[in-house]
Structure 1
Amino acid sequence: MQEIIEQLKSDLNDKEQELLLNDVDITNLPEANGENPIHTALLVASKLGLNIEERDIVSAERVGARRISAADPVTTPGLLPIRPRRLVVRLARRDLRDRMLASARSRRGATSADLDLPGPPMRFYVNERLTKQNGQLFRQAREIGNRLGWKYIWTRRGRILARQKPGDSVCLIRSEVDLRQIFETPTKSCK
Structure 2
Amino acid sequence: MKQLKEDVEACKNEANTLEQYSRRECLEIKGIPQTTNECTDEIVVAVAKQLGVTIKKENISISHRLGSLQNQQHSKQYTPIIVKFTSRKVRDEIYNNRSKLFKTRVSEENSHQSPIYINESLTRANKKMFYQCLQFKRQNNYKFIWTRNGTILLKKDETSSTIAIHNEGDMKKNSIPISS
Do they superpose with TM above 0.5? yes
Unpaired runs of 5+ in structure 2? none
Amino acid at match of 1:56: N
CA distance in 1, matches of 2:161, 2:147: 15
Counterpart in the other structure of 1:139:
131
Q: C-alpha offsets along residues 97-132 of structure 1, whole Å, 9 cap, x if unaligned?
A: 111012212342444xx9xxxxx7322111111111
- In structure 2, the CA distance between the partners of 1:149 and 1:183, relative to structure 1 (3 Å rule), is farther
The structure where helix makes up a greater share of residues is 2
What whole-Å deviation, never above 9, does each CA across 1:12-70 have from its counterpart, x for those lacking one?
1001111111111000111012111111111111122111011100000000242555x
- Give the structure 1 partner of residue 142 of structure 2: 150
8 Å contact from structure 1 (residues 63, 88) kept in 2 = yes
Aligned partner (choices 95, 98, 109) of residue 104 of structure 1: 98
For residue 108 of structure 1, give the secondary structure of its aligned residue in structure 2: helix
Distance 1:30 1:173 in 2: 32
CA distance in 1, matches of 2:94, 2:160: 28
* Cα distance in 2 between the residues matched to 1:122 and 1:168: 33
1-side partners of 2:137 and 2:34: how far apart? 32
Kept in 2, the 8 Å contact 1:26–1:126? The answer is yes
Across the aligned residues of Structure 1 and Structure 2, the Cα RMSD in angstroms comes to 2.0
1:176 and 2:179 aligned:
no
Alignment of 1:11-26 (within 5 A): 11-26=14-29
The whole-number CA distance in structure 1 between the counterparts of 2:121 and 2:103 is 20
Task: State yes or no: 1:58 paired with 2:61.
Answer: yes
Identity of aligned residues (%): 25
Q: Is the 8 A contact 1:110 1:123 kept in 2?
A: no
8 A Cα contact 2:66 2:82, kept in partner? yes
2-side partners of 1:183 and 1:148: how far apart? 11
- How much has 1:175 moved relative to structure 2? 2.9
Residue 121 of structure 2 corresponds to: 129
Q: Distance in 2 between matches of 1:9 and 1:106?
A: 36
- 8 Å contact 1:110–1:124 — kept in the other structure? no
Structure 1 letter corresponding to 2:125: Q
- Which residue in the other structure is 1:6 paired with? 9
- TM-score under structure 2 length normalisation: 0.84
Q: Which moved more, 1:172-181 or 1:38-47?
A: 172-181
Write the distance in 1 (CA, Å) between the matches of 2:73 and 2:42.
Answer: 23
Question: Counterparts of 1:40 and 1:67 in 2: how far apart (Å)?
Answer: 17
**TM-score, with structure 1 as normaliser:** 0.79
Q: Distance in 2 between matches of 1:11 and 1:110?
A: 39
Structure 1: 5+ residue runs without aligned partners? 70-79, 115-119, 185-191
Q: Deviations over 1:61-94 (max 9, x none)?
A: 000242555xxxxxxxxxx32x410000111111
Distance 2:94 2:35 in 1: 23
Q: Distance in 2 between matches of 1:63 and 1:110?
A: 25
